[in-house]
Structure 1
Amino acid sequence: MPEQPGDAAAAAASAAPLDVLVIDNDKDHAQAVAESLARIGYRCTVATSGPEGAKLLDDRAFDIIITDLMMAGVDGLEILRRAKENLADVEVILITGHASISSAVAAMQQGAFHYLEKSGIAELRAVTNSAAEKVRLKRANLELNRRLDEKFGFEGVVGASPQMNDVIERLKRIAPTDATVLIQGETGTGKELVAQALHQNSPRKKKAFVALNCAALSENILESELFGHVKGAFTDASADRVGKFEFAHGGTMFLDEVGDMPLPTQIKLLRVLENGEITRVGSNDPIKVNVRIVSATNRNLEDAIEAGTFRSDLYHRLKVVTIRLPRLAERSQDIPLLIDHFTKQFAKRHNKHVRGMSTAARRKFVAYPWPGNVRELRNFVESMVVVDYDGLLDVDDLPSELSDASDAVQTPIAAQQGLASLVGRPLDELERLFILETLNAAAGNREEAAKMLGIGERTLYRKIKDYGV
């Protein structure tokens, strides 16, 4: 099984030796502790006074600090304070021959990992191992997050195709700003996931992300949902109600299907964008809100402006930055990645053990035109996971839409030009084209491409080399 990012990060973190600073004005005890820990793989440095230990802390980084509590000049609590200020992930163990409840409480309140009396070195070694485990876990998590930020920085936005790489790079540039964003794309392309990714990677991520579908509500209900209302504003308004904009204060407001918003509501939304103010239904008192607005639509808003159903000034306010999401058919090489992503997700959700998807079933997925885009693929994979009984998603698990479809892969060449345009071209040229398109459909996975082509991996490798693919 291929090593997962988390496995690699954890392995790297656990393999790295940890640096331990031992500070004790009892030189013999300090040396004995250091020698004992060195025998089990720690890199130890000894300081025989508080000031010497403090200087080492200023000059070098350590993972674990073991310090005597009672020392002249700089005591153990001062070492603890300096360590926590300068080294975010360090763990500090305080040892003393003069234990007291008050000193123990003070040590733990300042973030000490452990506080113990000087006794046998075996106990100290066990505590050090526990501290090391905590340090390694934090290191593994940091490394994993770094790798995920580099490669999968926008959780839920799955794809390695050039089209999706362009989208993700654009998102990385936009996310840290407060610019309003208009996301355009067909139904099911993942517009809300992109909006969530923008929020999660922005300075507003600790505040609320609030989503509302503008097409699902009537004008009056939509305005009440967006702006709230006061008691008595209409027949059923029995109490004041906070709207979505107030709830999203400091965070992000996602307006899905904004192209279906009624014109009177568009005027009120424009005021929010221009002045940062909302007025509850039935009230005349403006309320300041600080909200980033991200909107989405599957409609052509320029056509809506021409038709008089969407305001031009609002359109330009909403589209400071525009992101266009490609149809799944336009990024078919992401299909294998999406299959694997959703298979893992739904196997976990439904408590099923699923090894993967067969080549025959994958052919059906690659050949299907995906009118419902990623949402349709997601639903199909979930259906297959639910009905599967043998741990392998195969053609017998396919929904009827896929099982009845042809599994002849429509390559871009065939789809755009038709097979007739290929007549008369050399066979080796056609073979090269179809190998290239199959590799694209398999997201560059040569093993998967070889299965789809019905040839051995070694044969495929040879042809790739011969054709310079």
Structure 2
Amino acid sequence: MKILIADDEKNMRWILEKNLKSEGFAVVSAEDGEEAFNLFLDEIPDMVILDYRMPKLDGMEVLKRIKKINISTPVIMITAHGSTDAAVEAMKIGAVDYISKPFDINELKMTIFKALNIDKLNKEIEYLRDLSTEKFDNKIVGQSKKMQEIFTMIDKIADTNATVLVMGESGTGKEGIVASIHNKSSRKDMPYIRVNCGAIPENLIESELFGHEKGAFTGANSRKFGRFDRAQGGTLFLDEIGELSLTLQVKILRVLQEKEFERVGGTEVIKSDVRIIAATNRNLEEMVEKGEFREDLLYRLKVIPIWLPPLRERKEDIDLLVEHFIGKYCKETNKEKMIIEKDALDLLEAYDYPGNIRELENLIERMVILCADGIIRASMLPKEIVKGAFLNKKDLFILPEEGINFEEVEISLVRQALERSNGNQTHAAKLLGMSRHALIYRMDKFHLK
């Protein structure tokens, strides 16, 4: 942490340097306003302490110049005794605080630490705001009737405390739905905590959820706050809740019913102000029948059920998703916005996506990275995508109303097969589903080489 001191009194600079260095700060100092501003540009300090009266440039002018360069740098102004007007003016320009001469060095240290803490909090808030915007904005995309119904449901339930269960296959975007509910609720400025119930070992997940007291088990050397503690006032997202053991299901049920819990090894009853939203890709009704999931917990979770359809059932959303992911990964890879050819988009819309949106997103990321000229073409798509798309099409080709010249279509297909196979006749024939002799016949017929 580096602090710039600007004061024309040598003794004052010496005292400030000595005391601040003893607190672990790196210190640079200037004896006039011009030197102070040049040092600010060169050293990029974390904080500036400015004397109001200095030669060449006074403290107020230096403050104005600093704020034009970096408005977030905290500046403390040192003013003469009784210079209230100067202090008020400095605060209006952007100083975080001021201190009047003569001052106690400990008083100045307290002012410095307070200003640095405020600056740290402001940076954390800005970081979290950016993170929140990145995480929640444009997370769920869809124009299909099914998705519009889900968006309407989210708007209705977001600002309630109702428990929500989001169901759907892996990769359908369940976390985006949960995040959207939280972000549209009155809890949006409070914690949003996610727990993947299937990713934490069974012997650790109780402590992870509820925390533990010191000495609760071997290795518990201090009290630990769990996810329920951290989510107080906000939302706790229990992803893959079907993976929880029956024992833990009882404890979750208690939190839902009684709004309270106890840490592992503790006796203190802790009140819970947490909204629980759960998600699963498993059939919980079947699990209830098999005795693997508690029926009473299922009823508590399904106050508001949301079924998220697989991508194959909302193919009218694929073009929007493709556009969204192209924009996202062009930005991440610092590439100019790309376009996708209609043939490539048609193939993407015909494919069934067993991995759902996650599979489509990974595919677009790969093509954006590999694309060299800003155009995503059908020839860039993986073979399994092309093959799956053609198997799903009822008609491989759609006959236009005005008809076609069949010979031109045949010539075009033979030429494309030869180009894609780099002139390898055997490979080209395989692409066209014919024998090599049949291909050679057509090449001779259409004078193709």
Q: TM-score range by the shorter chain?
A: 0.5 to 0.7
Structure 1 counterpart of 2:99 = none
Give 5+ residue unaligned stretches, structure 2.
Answer: 1-81, 95-135, 402-449
Structure 1 counterpart of 2:365 = 382
Alignment equivalent of 1:319, drawn from 302, 307, 318: 302
The offset of 1:396, in angstroms, is: 3.8
1:154·1:168 contact (CA, 8 Å) conserved in 2?
Answer: no
Deviations 1:258-286 (A, max 9, x none): 11110000000011111111211122222
Q: Aligned partner of 2:162: which letter?
A: A
The offset of 1:403, in angstroms, is: 4.2
Distance 1:312 1:110 in 2: 61
Q: How does 1:23-172 map to 2 (within 5 A)?
A: 102=84, 106=88, 155-172=138-155
Q: How does 1:53-452 map to 2 (within 5 A)?
A: 102=84, 106=88, 155-407=138-390, 410=393, 414=394
Distance 2:93 2:249 in 1: 53
Deviations 1:46-100 (A, max 9, x none): xxxxxxxxxxxxxxxxxxxxxxxxxxxxxxxxxxxxxxxxxxxxxxxxxxxxxx9
Distance 2:144 2:262 in 1: 44
Deviations 1:131-158 (A, max 9, x none): xxxxxxxxxxxxxxxxxxxxxx963110
The offset of 1:189, in angstroms, is: 0.6
Distance 1:362 1:108 in 2: 59
Distance 1:107 1:399 in 2: 65
Q: Name the count of aligned residue pairs.
A: 276
1:224·1:243 contact (CA, 8 Å) conserved in 2?
Answer: yes
Deviations 1:369-398 (A, max 9, x none): 111111110111011111111111223432
Give 5+ residue unaligned stretches, structure 1.
Answer: 1-99, 113-152, 420-426, 429-469
Structure 2 counterpart of 1:55 = none
1:219·1:265 contact (CA, 8 Å) conserved in 2?
Answer: no
Question: Larger Cα Rg: Structure 1 or Structure 2?
Answer: 2
- Could you say what the CA RMSD is over the residues aligned between the two structures, in angstroms? 2.5
Structure 2 counterpart of 1:72 = none
Q: Aligned partner of 1:194: which letter?
A: I
2:195 is paired with a residue whose SS is strand
Structure 2 counterpart of 1:439 = none
Distance 2:93 2:153 in 1: 41
- From the superposition, tell whether residues 406 and 322 of structure 1 become closer, same or farther in structure 2 (CA, over 3 Å): closer
User: TM-score when scaled to structure 2?
Assistant: 0.58
2:298 is paired with a residue whose SS is helix
Q: Aligned partner of 1:304: which letter?
A: M
1:171·1:198 contact (CA, 8 Å) conserved in 2?
Answer: yes
2:242 is paired with a residue whose SS is helix
Distance 1:180 1:108 in 2: 50
Distance 1:108 1:155 in 2: 41
1:178 is paired with a residue whose SS is coil
Distance 1:355 1:244 in 2: 41
Q: Aligned partner of 1:244: which letter?
A: R
Q: Aligned partner of 2:350: which letter?
A: A
Distance 1:275 1:165 in 2: 35
Distance 2:207 2:382 in 1: 41
2:232·2:274 contact (CA, 8 Å) conserved in 1?
Answer: yes
2:352·2:388 contact (CA, 8 Å) conserved in 1?
Answer: no
Q: Aligned partner of 2:253: which letter?
A: L
